[in-house]
Structure 1
Amino acid sequence: MTKPVTDPNLQSLDARSRDIFRLIVETYLHDGEPLGSRNLSRMLPKQLSPATIRNVMSDLEHLGLIYAPHVSAGRLPTQQGLRFFVDAFMEIGDLSEEERQVIEAQIKAAGKSQSLEHMLTEASQMLSGLSRGAGLVLATKSEAALKHIEFIQLEPRKALAVLVSQNGDVENRVLDLPAGVTASQLVEASNFLNAHIRGRTLAEAKAEMARLKEETRAALDSLSQSLVEQGLAVWAGAGSDAPARLIVRGRANLLENVTAQADIELLRHLFQDLETKEALVQLLELAEDGPGVRIFIGSENKLFSLSGSSLVVAPYRDQDSRIVGALGIIGPTRLNYARIVPMVDYTAQLVGRLLR
């Protein structure tokens, strides 16, 4: 369904102006080329002279919706024009049943046979392949339910803490041991934790340990109690340094048809942004700012604004409806938004269901 125009400056567009504007944008989204008045006159349902069309295009330029990339060239939509098109004209379709089955089969197969990491990587790869952009999946840490913890002594004052989550992920951390800790105390601390953390997230496990503070004192000696506290704190501390992991697939797609040095430089900025820790936090913030799928075009996207890329992103949730990650597609501003939005939306819902 077509969305209504909301900007009062754009209410003045008559049907002829809208038809011309729509054709300019649709041509750009299809092949990236500017559209001139002569070609427009052949595409419009009603015959208009090139001179009349040029007058209309001049008005659209004045509104900031289109621009001429070169003198005597056709017109391309501005970022404001693309936003207006997405908000006012674009009809969001739905995935076909066949497309839904393909997405579901790939994600479910990865989820059954491998770890959560593999399922999310498959989701990123699939989004890339279907969109010809780069697929992004952000997975926050410490949200998976815990299954098992074990301490393995490496040196008299060092141990390896092994944390296994119920989705199959395994993480290792080296922690410092209090002086005098014995092998039996490592086992005792592991057993106590395993009796209370199974099925809880890290945050929930920490809260449970705080609640059982008196019981912990009664059940364990001081060194074993210290191990219990360190065993949970080592992941909490790591979480502040690396709050999430970003899985990116299909970067090579962004290099297709890029020849100009300026465009290559923009992509270099994008690839650098994708490597930064701040990108993880900001990507999740973008997804959390509103319900459902969000579209960011060019400089609207505070994360990748230097590269002028567009981002379509949606959060996914766990069994408690908490946002635990985000997934989406990044690419040039001429992404096929109408097709990509339902694709991202359905994939995010599917990943969320499989986490429950």
Structure 2
Amino acid sequence: MIQSPAHDVLSSLDQRSREIFRRIVESYLNDGDPVGSRNLARILPQALSPATIRNVMSDLEHLGLIYSPHISAGRMPTQIGLRFFVDAFLEIGDLPPDERSSIEAQVRAAGQTHSVENILTEASQVLSGLSRGAGLVLATKAEGALKHIEFVRLEPTRALAVLVMQNGDVENRVLELPPGVSASQLIEASNFLNAHIHGRTLTEARNELEKLKNETREALDSLSQSLVAQGLAIWGGSGSDQPARLIVRGRSNLLENISAQDDLERLRHLFDDLETKDGMIQLLDLAEAGSGVRIFIGSENKLFSLSGSSLVVAPYRDGEQRVVGALGVIGPTRLNYARIVPMVDYTAQIVSRLLR
């Protein structure tokens, strides 16, 4: 992160220096290559000699805003320079109407299945397709209100536990049956659970049944009691489940920008980071720390610091305005920030509406 506030650095640059710096960054964001003084002289609106431009570039390099990747090469922005550009120069506009319509149509179509998983997967896919980076969505294991549970026998010693949430989500788990369980005991266990779980979260339901141990023993035989206990335990009652899940689409897009072995190594670090449980928790923390879209460039984000990637991320919320996840785009530092920021923001808004 730049040491002095962006406005302080900006005030130290004259108009000519600002224009040259802006052109260097925009050229880098466009094609990823360093730009030299002769090329700058051709695209600058004012007539400046290459020697004058090189003097300005030397000053910008001294400030840590640009650097030369090779001897006698042109200049590229440093991570500090990119952050300064984002803070001081980046103009964020609205998404074009056709992109807004496309995002909304695709995500809403997934929502017609009443599956949160489908909505989030489609949001990740949409972000990947529009950004040409990797779209990612982090979903917390937020506990919703329960509606119904049912046991369906699959084999003599196995059954399917079907859990229906009040928001329409349905989850299935296979559980092992105690030897000798009858069809009537499956129904009895389901009825007992449904009498006590409706409208409660899983945690609340487990706590309630813990309080009703004596009543459970009086109302049910030992086999039915075992079914009741297993019926809720299989949904993470042990606390071993991950607190969140990460959906990533478009990893192959990141391979398109690979040009050297060190780039490949950085990408490997990124893929490793995306697989870690701690990484998912950190990603949610990043989104919860701000109310809107946040931009993390390279090493600013400890989660992806080794990969040198940039992350544009925004939280999405449930009907009670609680942050229940995050979505965004990850890619090389030369992301088209001006386009991707409103894209991520709008997608988060659509997902939030569908979760209400």
TM-score (norm 1): 0.88
| Equivalences, count | 352
2:310 aligned partner: 310
Shift of 1:78: 0.4
Q: Are the equivalent residues in 2 in contact too, given 1:273–1:279 (CA < 8 A)?
A: yes
Between 155-164 and 241-250, the greater mean CA deviation after superposition: 155-164
Between 221-230 and 335-344, the greater mean CA deviation after superposition: 221-230
**How many percent identity over aligned positions?**
73
The reply to whether residue 31 of structure 1 matches residue 31 of structure 2 is: yes
CA distance in 1: counterparts of 2:203 and 2:83, whole angstroms:
40
The reply to whether residue 62 of structure 1 matches residue 62 of structure 2 is: yes
Structure 1 residues 101-127: Cα deviation after superposition (integer angstroms, max 9, x where no partner): 111111111110362222211111111
Q: Are the equivalent residues in 2 in contact too, given 1:5–1:87 (CA < 8 A)?
A: no
2:332 aligned partner: 332
Between 36-45 and 131-140, the greater mean CA deviation after superposition: 36-45
CA distance in 1: counterparts of 2:137 and 2:46, whole angstroms:
46
Change over 3 Å in CA distance of 1:121–1:22 after alignment to 2:
same
Between 224-233 and 24-33, the greater mean CA deviation after superposition: 224-233
2:12 aligned partner: 12
SS in 1 for 2:33: coil
Q: Are the equivalent residues in 2 in contact too, given 1:189–1:224 (CA < 8 A)?
A: yes
The reply to whether residue 168 of structure 1 matches residue 169 of structure 2 is: yes
The reply to whether residue 104 of structure 1 matches residue 117 of structure 2 is: no
1:322 corresponds to which letter in structure 2? R
Q: Are the equivalent residues in 1 in contact too, given 2:173–2:234 (CA < 8 A)?
A: no
CA distance in 1: counterparts of 2:172 and 2:155, whole angstroms:
19
The reply to whether residue 320 of structure 1 matches residue 320 of structure 2 is: yes
1:335 corresponds to which letter in structure 2? L
CA distance in 2: counterparts of 1:211 and 1:294, whole angstroms:
44
Q: Are the equivalent residues in 1 in contact too, given 2:287–2:313 (CA < 8 A)?
A: yes
CA distance in 1: counterparts of 2:209 and 2:318, whole angstroms:
23
1:264 aligned partner: 264
The reply to whether residue 143 of structure 1 matches residue 131 of structure 2 is: no
- 5+ residue gaps, structure 1, are none
The reply to whether residue 298 of structure 1 matches residue 298 of structure 2 is: yes
Shift of 1:173: 4.8
Between 137-146 and 120-129, the greater mean CA deviation after superposition: 137-146
2:345 corresponds to which letter in structure 1? D
1:347 aligned partner: 347
Q: For 1:172-321, what aligned pairs fall within 5 Å after superposition?
A: 172-174=173-175, 183-206=183-206, 209=209, 224=224, 227-237=227-237, 240-321=240-321
2:171 corresponds to which letter in structure 1? V
1:307 corresponds to which letter in structure 2? S
Change over 3 Å in CA distance of 1:89–1:148 after alignment to 2:
same
Alignment RMSD (CA, Å): 2.8
2:333 corresponds to which letter in structure 1? T
Q: Are the equivalent residues in 2 in contact too, given 1:142–1:201 (CA < 8 A)?
A: no
CA distance in 1: counterparts of 2:6 and 2:127, whole angstroms:
31
SS in 1 for 2:139: strand
Shift of 1:243: 1.8
1:290 corresponds to which letter in structure 2? G
Structure 1 residues 249-305: Cα deviation after superposition (integer angstroms, max 9, x where no partner): 111111114231111111112122222222222221221121111111111111111
CA distance in 1: counterparts of 2:103 and 2:70, whole angstroms:
42
CA distance in 2: counterparts of 1:191 and 1:254, whole angstroms:
51
SS in 2 for 1:304: helix
SS in 2 for 1:303: helix
Between 345-354 and 141-150, the greater mean CA deviation after superposition: 141-150
CA distance in 1: counterparts of 2:16 and 2:342, whole angstroms:
30
Q: Are the equivalent residues in 2 in contact too, given 1:5–1:88 (CA < 8 A)?
A: no
CA distance in 1: counterparts of 2:19 and 2:192, whole angstroms:
70
Q: Are the equivalent residues in 2 in contact too, given 1:142–1:239 (CA < 8 A)?
A: no
CA distance in 1: counterparts of 2:351 and 2:86, whole angstroms:
26
1:161 corresponds to which letter in structure 2? A
TM-score (norm 2): 0.88
1:353 corresponds to which letter in structure 2? R
SS in 2 for 1:71: coil
Q: Are the equivalent residues in 1 in contact too, given 2:29–2:334 (CA < 8 A)?
A: yes
1:81 aligned partner: 81
Change over 3 Å in CA distance of 1:217–1:346 after alignment to 2:
farther
